[in-house]
């Protein structure tokens, strides 16, 4: 107890020095998110509006688009000053050398029967054919199933799942679903001129007067009632219709801010399509905030590269993750409980906590050392403190014998007093500012430089070879925006790529040394889902932060991330017991589960009632491990989130699209956390079948129901017709006996579920009819008994 009290005092002193305050936005401070909207509203800039298709070749689906030149001009009317885009002549000299209305390349590529790619350039782009880190294979595949037909005024390509029509004059593209319904189309200036007094920037690009750099505005129509979801771990409105979203990795300093640790340039629409903005530049998305009829994707890149996916949410996610990569299965132990706080400082701390977990019968698989395992707290030098860790290797081996893996924190910023600062500088492995010097007080490794990656991985490999199971890949949101990188690009392109490079670097070396794909990461970009697991950042200890945490997790899941976690009880301060109690079953019913934050986080540091509640919630998770593991495998194979919005499973239920405070845990369990000090809540149950309370056995009809929580403070229901596999309780997944599983059947008649045994990692369907098992798909490996 003396050690835990000292840790509490240490964290309290740290809190006095570093107040838990969120970053002020639009204050001109260091690493502030870049919002490029101003570029599209400046009187100084020149705007090129896509006007007419030229020289189109139907066989290659390529040609040119003519752009007409515009600038903003003012018009005063009734004491109100308006700004309108107005045609202008060229202002270059000599005029014969420059085009006033340039014809620039336009290409349509067919990636799959559901996926169409549109590329447009504003000039020379020497990187156009380079491999992309965001795409799982570096390049997009091609598909020949689309059939061409000439239509009046344009060209049409059709697949079994929809079509794209390119009109010539005015130029536009129209996307339709398999039934011929228009799901979206590009916005031409003719759609706005004379039809609205609001100046709308149509499809085109801007040339900045300041430096002649160019950025695209991909402007498309929105349908009445259309809803927009995704864009990464966004904590604000779940449905982004009516919102502006800035995609720029940022230390969000919490989960109730508009900035994001995990922006992802992908979204899906309730209208039956998804869009991937294939770029790493800053992006500002306006989904009908400025003008309700249009979505405006303001993309910093000088080349526009958009992928469109046709289908329902599952089909869109499957297609998107076919392109950018699906989340591989993390190891079984990672699905167990992770015990952590900020921070355990010593071998004695770690041994005491693991012993207490076993004494109190709190099932657990991971002990995490946060910022305090170095000699100097927070000084990430990849060496265990010699004064507080007698034998790290023996400690880790002992933990493994007791069913614990070890996770270690680290950070990619190196302070001047860190010996590794000098290594980075002397070996020229750091990001430079435009003057060739260090941009910050810290040295930031240039992860676009293979030598810097090798240097970093060597440090991590030393720890993994000691037996460490996972590395916490913290931070990563502050790569210098004005930095110069080995890739030949500036931070305008590399800032958002840094988290992807960072995730990949640590995941790759962990795979190489340990043979497992597992990290614990905070920041992301498109493609980071290939390197699980990610967690939700530094949530406040409040009801609203708990609700925002769920919104963020659901949004991230809608951008291809199968696995996600969060700090149970919140991070910033010691969690109030009531909040911690309600957050606990929410955390246990997440893909991955960790208690972490300001001390105390250990359940025995609270009341006996809380300890019993925590134990029961944890026991439930461990007994559900066969369900969790099978659903994880199914999610991994199909690009689905384990924690998913209701409409992913029930896209034809209009009510499912409106819910942001419930979720499906896998395909068969619905979870409704308690976000206030209450014991019951209104719950929307989707679909046309009944739902059965997992805790009480009560049956509820589809639609709205007011439901009382069970012994655990959460509402948890199972779909009628589901088979939920269970396993005998063990204190670690290492000690689980998978040779005997119990099947719990919910409802009457036919019921179905999944089984996946860790020994072969193969997904099997299991069916029960009229109380009898139709067949055992894991015969000889596991005995299945119906409960």
Go through the chain and tell me how many residues it has.
Answer: 787
Helix, strand or coil for residue 478?
Answer: coil
Nearest to 593 by CA among 342, 329, 368: 368
- Catalytic site includes residue 474: yes
Complete DSSP assignment for 407-439: EEEE-S-B-TTSHHHHHHHHTT-B-B-TTSS-S
The pairing of beta strand 244-247 with beta strand 283-287: antiparallel
Separation of alpha carbons 566 and 596, rounded Å: 9
State which H helix or E strand residue 551 sits in. Answer: helix 543-557
| Active-site residue, selected from the candidate residues 233, 349, 494, 538 | 538
Separation of alpha carbons 671 and 667, rounded Å: 11
Residues 6+ apart with CB under 8 A from 458: none
288 φ/ψ sector (left φ>0, alpha ψ -120 to 50, else beta): left
| Active-site residue, selected from the candidate residues 474, 494, 649, 662 | 474
Residues 6+ apart with CB under 8 A from 524: 232, 233, 249, 261, 262, 263, 264, 499, 500, 503, 534, 556, 561
193 token code pair: 């001129």
Q: What interhelical angle do 419-426 and 450-466 show, nearest 10?
A: 150
The pairing of beta strand 714-719 with beta strand 691-693: antiparallel
- Catalytic site includes residue 477: yes
Nearest to 552 by CA among 518, 580, 524: 524
Residue 781 near residue 739, CB atoms below 8 Å: yes
534 token code pair: 């990610």
Q: How far out from the chain centre does Cα 682 lie?
A: 28
Phi, psi angle pair for 377, to nearest 5°: -55, 130
Peptide bond into 131 cis (omega under 30): no
The pairing of beta strand 520-521 with beta strand 470-473: parallel
| Active-site residue, selected from the candidate residues 286, 347, 365, 477 | 477
Biggest CA pair distance of the chain: 85
- Catalytic site includes residue 398: no
Separation of alpha carbons 243 and 358, rounded Å: 48
Instruction: Find residue 115's DSSP bridge partners.
Output: 112, 309
Helix, strand or coil for residue 489?
Answer: coil
249 φ/ψ sector (left φ>0, alpha ψ -120 to 50, else beta): beta
Separation of alpha carbons 113 and 104, rounded Å: 27
Helix, strand or coil for residue 167?
Answer: strand
β-sheet with 643-644: strand ranges across: 643-644, 663-665, 669-673, 714-719, 691-693, 699-700
Q: What is the DSSP letter of 528?
A: G
Residue 669 near residue 717, CB atoms below 8 Å: yes
Phi, psi angle pair for 572, to nearest 5°: -70, -45
Nearest to 532 by CA among 257, 335, 301: 335
Helix, strand or coil for residue 33?
Answer: coil
614 token code pair: 């925590």
Residue 286 near residue 240, CB atoms below 8 Å: no
Separation of alpha carbons 764 and 771, rounded Å: 19
Rg (CA), the chain: 27
Separation of alpha carbons 27 and 25, rounded Å: 5
53 token code pair: 């298709």
Nearest to 410 by CA among 268, 509, 548, 555: 509
Q: Which residues are catalytic?
A: 474, 477, 538
């Amino acid at each position: 107890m003396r050690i835990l009290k000292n840790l509490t005092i240490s964290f309290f002193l740290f809190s006095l020095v570093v107040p838990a305050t969120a970053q002020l936005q639009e204050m001109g401070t260091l690493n502030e998110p870049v919002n490029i909207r101003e570029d599209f509203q400046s009187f100084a800039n020149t705007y090129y509006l896509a006007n007419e298709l030229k020289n189109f070749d139907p066989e290659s689906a390529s040609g040119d688009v003519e752009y007409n030149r515009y600038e903003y001009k003012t018009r005063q009317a009734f004491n109100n000053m308006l700004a309108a885009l107005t045609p202008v002549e060229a202002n270059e000299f000599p005029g014969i050398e420059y085009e006033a209305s340039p014809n620039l390349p336009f290409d349509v590529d067919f990636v799959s029967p559901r996926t169409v790619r549109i590329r447009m350039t504003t000039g020379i782009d020497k990187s156009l054919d380079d491999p992309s880190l965001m795409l799982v294979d570096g390049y997009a595949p091609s598909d020949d199933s689309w059939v061409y037909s000439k239509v009046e005024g344009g060209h049409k390509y059709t697949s079994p799942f929809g079509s794209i029509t390119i009109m010539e004059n005015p130029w536009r593209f129209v996307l339709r679903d398999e039934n011929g319904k228009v799901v979206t189309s590009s916005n031409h200036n003719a759609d706005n001129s004379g039809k609205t007094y609001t100046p709308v920037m149509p499809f085109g690009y801007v040339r900045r007067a300041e430096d002649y750099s160019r950025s695209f505005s991909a402007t498309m129509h929105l349908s009445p009632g259309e809803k927009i979801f995704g864009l990464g771990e966004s904590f604000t409105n779940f449905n982004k219709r009516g919102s502006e979203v800035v995609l720029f990795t940022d230390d969000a300093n919490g989960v109730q801010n508009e900035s994001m640790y995990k922006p992802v340039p992908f979204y899906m629409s309730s209208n039956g399509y998804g869009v991937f903005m294939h770029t790493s530049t800053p992006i500002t998305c306006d989904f009908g905030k400025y003008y309700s009829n249009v979505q405006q994707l303001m993309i910093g890149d000088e080349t526009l590269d958009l992928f469109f996916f046709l289908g329902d949410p599952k089909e869109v996610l499957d297609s998107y993750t076919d392109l950018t990569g699906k989340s591989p299965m993390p190891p079984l132990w990672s699905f167990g409980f992770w015990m952590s706080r900020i921070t355990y400082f010593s071998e004695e701390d770690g041994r005491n906590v693991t012993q207490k977990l076993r004494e109190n019968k709190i099932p657990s698989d991971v002990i995490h050392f946060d910022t305090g395992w170095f000699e100097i707290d927070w000084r990430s030098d990849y060496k265990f403190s010699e004064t507080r860790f007698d034998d790290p290797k023996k400690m880790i081996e002992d933990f493994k014998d007791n069913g614990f893996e070890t996770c270690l924190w680290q950070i990619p910023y190196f302070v001047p007093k860190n010996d590794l600062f000098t290594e980075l500088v002397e070996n020229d492995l750091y990001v430079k500012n435009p003057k060739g010097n260090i941009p910050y007080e810290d040295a930031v490794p240039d992860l676009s430089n293979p030598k810097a990656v090798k240097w970093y991985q060597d440090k991590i490999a030393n720890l993994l070879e000691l037996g460490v199971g996972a590395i916490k890949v913290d931070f990563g949101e502050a790569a210098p925006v004005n930095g110069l990188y080995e890739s030949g690009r500036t931070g305008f392109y590399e800032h958002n790529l840094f988290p992807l490079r960072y995730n990949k670097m640590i995941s790759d070396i962990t795979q190489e040394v340990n043979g497992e794909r597992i990290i614990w990461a905070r920041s992301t970009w498109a493609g980071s889902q290939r390197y699980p697991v990610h967690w939700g950042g530094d949530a406040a200890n409040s009801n609203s932060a708990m609700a925002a945490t769920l919104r963020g997790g659901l949004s991230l899941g809608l951008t291809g991330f199968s696995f996600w976690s969060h700090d149970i009880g919140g991070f910033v301060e010691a969690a109030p017991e009531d909040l911690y109690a309600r957050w606990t079953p929410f955390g246990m019913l997440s893909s991955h589960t960790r208690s972490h934050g300001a001390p105390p986080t250990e359940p025995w540091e609270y009341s006996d009632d809380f300890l019993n509640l925590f134990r029961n919630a944890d026991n439930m998770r461990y007994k559900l491990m066969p369900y969790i593991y099978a659903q994880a495998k199914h999610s991994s194979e199909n690009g689905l989130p384990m924690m998913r919005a209701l409409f992913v499973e029930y896209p034809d239920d209009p009510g499912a699209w409106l819910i942001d405070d419930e979720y499906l845990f896998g395909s068969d369990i619905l979870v409704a956390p308690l976000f206030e000090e209450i014991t019951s809540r209104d719950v929307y149950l989707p679909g046309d079948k009944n739902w059965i309370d997992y805790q009480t056995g009560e049956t509820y009809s589809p639609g709205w129901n007011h439901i009382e929580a069970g012994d655990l403070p959460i509402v948890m229901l199972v779909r009628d017709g589901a088979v939920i596999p269970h396993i005998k309780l063990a204190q670690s997944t290492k000690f689980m006996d998978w040779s005997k599983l119990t099947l719990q059947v919910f409802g009457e008649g036919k019921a179905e579920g999944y089984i996946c045994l860790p020994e072969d990692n193969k997904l099997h369907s299991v069916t029960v009819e009229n109380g009898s098992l139709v067949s055992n798909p894991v015969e000889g490996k596991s005995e299945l008994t119906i409960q």
